[in-house]
Each structure stands twice: as structure tokens, then as C-alpha cells.
Amino acid sequence: MNRSKTAADRRKSSVERIAVARFLADLLDQRFTIPGTSIRFGLDPILGLIPGIGDAIANLAGSAILLIAAQYRLPKIVLLRMGLNIAFNALIGAIPVVGDIFSIWFRSNVKNAQLLERYVSAERQAPSAGDWIFVLAVILGIILLLIGIFVVLIWVVKQVWHTV
């Protein structure tokens, strides 16, 4: 018996993995509609309302799309961009209420599913300039955020030190 997968089996497996990614993106980011509006949301902002673990559960579920992308051996820059989408959603999502509203707007899982489909459908498409610009902008933003946190921390320590 031939244990190797046939081309048809590989295509079927590929279609199933893409379907799982689409399903997760839809479930987490746009499954429901606010009545009377065109605003769509998913379980991500709902789970985010659970203190402590809600955002972790939502982002862990969204990470499955990143794992599927890694199975396809997408370019590392695309995997990085997808990871940054998740991290950005997790970082802002940690802010009560504001983070949940942000998650409705940002839709990191839909973005990641679209990146997955774009790069899987193409024959080893090179990362676009937009991919690189996005990644560099996020890295710069994180560096600036860390510098800002450090500056505020020093200021707070100085304020506390002078009042003691």
C-alpha cells in the first residue's frame, strides 16, 4: 500500500487548512452583526471582556492561523507580519473596553487569513513593500513605546523619590 499522499490528497488537505483559517478568522472577528448597523464583530472582543484570560484565549485561537501559515512555509517576513498583527491586537486588547473596541476595528485574524490566502495562492510570491513597511513601522512603534514607558517610569521614580 502506498503511504505517500497523492497530489489530490495534498490539495484536499490544503483546502481544508485554508478553510480552517477562514473559519477561525470569521468566528473571532466578524461572525456577528450589531443589529441596525453594518458593524461586524466576533468572539475576540467578547472573550476580551473576561478579565485576565479572555484576550489570551482569543489570541491563542488566532495564533492557529499563524501556525497554518508556518506549515505552508510562507516567507518569514509574512509570518512576522502575522505575528505582529496578533501581538498588536493583544497589546491594545489588554486595555479594558478600549481594547475590545479596537479589536472590532483592527480584525487581526481576518488580516492574517487574507495574508495566508494571498501568499498560498501565489507561486512563492515575494513579500511586498507594504509588508516590509508595516513590519518596520510596528517595530519602530514598539521601540518608541518602550522608550516612552521607560521615560515615564524614570519620571515616576523621581517624583516618588522627591516626595520621600
Note the pLDDT tens digit of each residue in 69-115: 988 888 888 888 999 999 889 888 888 889 899 999 999 999 999 99
Question: Phi/psi class of residue 62: alpha, beta or left (left: φ > 0; alpha: ψ in -120 to 50)?
Answer: alpha
**Are 72 and 135 part of one and the same domain?**
no
**88, 108 contact by CB (below 8 A):** yes
Query: Is the per-residue pLDDT at 142 higher than 90?
Result: no
Same domain, 111 and 69: yes
Cell numbers describing residue 56: 489570551
Query: Domains in the chain: how many in total?
Result: 2
Q: Please report whether residue 121 resides in a domain.
A: yes
Q: Does 2 fall in a domain?
A: no
Q: What per-residue confidence (pLDDT) applies to 91?
A: 86
Residues 108, 138, single domain; the answer is: no
Cβ atoms of 113 and 20 within 8 Å: the answer is no
Please give the Cα distance from 65 to 83 (Å, whole number).
10
Please tell me the chain's helix, strand, coil percentages from 3-state DSSP, rounded to the nearest 5: 75, 0, 25
Strand, helix or coil at 162?
helix
Tell me, yes or no, whether 106 and 159 share the same domain.
Answer: no
Predicted confidence at residue 150, as pLDDT, reads: 74
Residues facing residue 41 across a β-bridge? 32
- 102 and 138 share one domain: no
- Range 41-46 average pLDDT: 94
- Is residue 6 helix, strand or coil? coil
pLDDT classification of 2: cutoffs 50, 70, 90: low
Q: Is residue 164 part of a domain?
A: yes
Domain with 149, as residue range(s), is 128-164
Residues 39 and 92 both lie in one domain: yes
Q: Is the pLDDT of residue 140 over 90?
A: no
Q: What is the pLDDT of residue 124?
A: 60
Closest by alpha carbon to 66, among 76, 56, 54? 76
Mean pLDDT of 152-159: 86
pTM score, whole prediction: 0.72
